[in-house]
């Protein structure tokens, strides 16, 4: 009995997703995500920065049918063992969406800036940040999507008094929600 109920419920959900997908393709979606984690890339010196907790900031996105998805990101990543030091990222992205029957997908690229906020900030030049992005959206209802995005960031800040660069690139993950209108 219990198994039958579970199968029935799952079947209803799948039907809802399928139906939602068909109708959602024509909707304008807005959403926001909160950064979950940031893992820095390894630098040439063999070390890597460590983030202190989750990044602080927000990601906003809008997806229009037949046009694509734009995304705006602004977040800070505090550094472990570096008192009051953080990297600050500001990026604008364009993603190409693609919908599967039970999942919305999007791939894209972004560009922006990466800054150091620290007592040593004046020692480093602002860097241009690039990234590629992947987003997956799980339909909850016809108009609501739970989204997860993965960002691979490239950013190196030049040390003004030398030829070295701070390795500020890494991978960022975010979780959020989108709503269709």
Partner 1 sequence: MVTKKIAFACLGLVFLVGCKEVVKSNKDTISTIAPPTSGSGSVTHVDIAGGSPFKHTQALGDTTADLYYIFTNPNSSAVSGTPSYGQTVGSPAPLAQTMETPDLGPNLEAYAKAHQIGLRGTSEITAYNASPPPMYKGTTASQQATAPLRSAVGDTFTFYTESNSETAAATLRAIKTDGTVTVNLWVANDSWTGCVKANCMTQAMVDALGDKFLTTGANNDIYDWVTNLYGEPWGTQTYSNLIPSTAKTSIDILFYDISNDNSTTGGILGFFYSKDNYLSTSVSFSNQRLLFYMDSILTATKEGTTWGVLDYWPAEMVATLAHEFQHMIHFYQKNVLLGTSSTSSNSWIHEMMSMMTEDLVADKILVNGPRGVTYSDYTAGSANNQDGRPSLFNTYPYISQAYWANDSYVLARYSINYAFGAWLARNFGGAKLAHQLMVTDGDDTTTVVNALASLGYTETYPSLLKKFWAAVLLSSRTDNLAPYIFNTGAAFTSTYGALTYSLGSINFFNYGTGPTIYTSSNLGTAMSSMPAYSGVMMLAASGVKGNQTKTIDMPKGLDLTVVVKP
Q: In the complex with partner 1, which residue's Cβ is closer, 70 or 144?
A: 70
Residue pair 145/105 in contact (Cβ under 8 Å)? The answer is no
Task: State the minimum distance, in angstroms, from the CB of residue 19 to partner 1.
Answer: 20
Place of tokens 């993603």: 95
Task: State the minimum distance, in angstroms, from the CB of residue 100 to partner 1.
Answer: 8
Task: State the minimum distance, in angstroms, from the CB of residue 9 to partner 1.
Answer: 29
Place of tokens 């009995």: 1
Q: In the complex with partner 1, which residue's Cβ is closer, 37 or 118?
A: 118
| Beta partners for residue 22, in sequence order | none
Q: What is the 3-state secondary structure (H, E, C) of 10-66?
A: HHHHHHHHHHHHHHHCCCCEEEEEEEEEEEECCCCCCCCCCECCCCEEEEEEEEECC
DSSP 181: -
The answer for residues whose C-beta is within 8 angstroms of residue 132's C-beta and 6 or more apart is 107, 108, 109, 110, 151, 152
Q: In the complex with partner 1, which residue's Cβ is closer, 170 or 180?
A: 170
Query: What residues make contact with partner 1 under the rule CB under 8 A?
Result: 40-49, 79, 81-85, 96, 98, 105, 107, 109, 116, 118-120, 123-124, 130, 132, 134, 152, 154, 156, 159, 161-167, 169
Q: In the complex with partner 1, which residue's Cβ is closer, 13 or 98?
A: 98
Structure tokens at 12: 């209803």
Q: How many beta carbons lie within 10 A of that of residue 166, not counting itself?
A: 22
Residue pair 111/133 in contact (Cβ under 8 Å)? The answer is no
Task: State the minimum distance, in angstroms, from the CB of residue 47 to partner 1.
Answer: 4
Q: In the complex with partner 1, which residue's Cβ is closer, 130 or 148?
A: 130
Task: State the minimum distance, in angstroms, from the CB of residue 92 to partner 1.
Answer: 16
Q: In the complex with partner 1, which residue's Cβ is closer, 158 or 179?
A: 158
Task: State the minimum distance, in angstroms, from the CB of residue 12 to partner 1.
Answer: 26
């Amino acid at each position: 009995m219990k198994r039958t109920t579970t199968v029935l419920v799952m079947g209803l959900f799948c039907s809802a997703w399928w139906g939602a997908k068909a109708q959602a393709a024509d909707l304008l979606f807005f959403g926001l995500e909160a950064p979950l984690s940031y893992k820095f890339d390894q630098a040439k010196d063999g070390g890597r920065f460590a983030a202190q907790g989750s990044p602080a900031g927000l990601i906003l996105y809008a997806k229009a049918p037949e046009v694509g998805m734009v995304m705006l990101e602004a977040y800070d990543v505090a550094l472990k063992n570096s008192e009051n030091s953080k990297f600050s990222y500001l990026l604008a992205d364009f993603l190409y969406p693609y919908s599967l029957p039970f999942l919305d997908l999007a791939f894209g690229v972004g560009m922006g800036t990466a800054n150091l906020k620290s007592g040593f900030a004046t020692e480093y030049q602002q860097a241009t940040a690039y990234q590629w992005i992947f987003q997956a959206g799980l339909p909850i209802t016809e108009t609501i999507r739970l989204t997860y995005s993965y960002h691979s960031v490239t950013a190196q800040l030049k040390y003004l008094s030398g030829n070295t660069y701070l390795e500020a690139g890494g991978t960022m993950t975010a979780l959020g929600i989108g709503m269709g209108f």
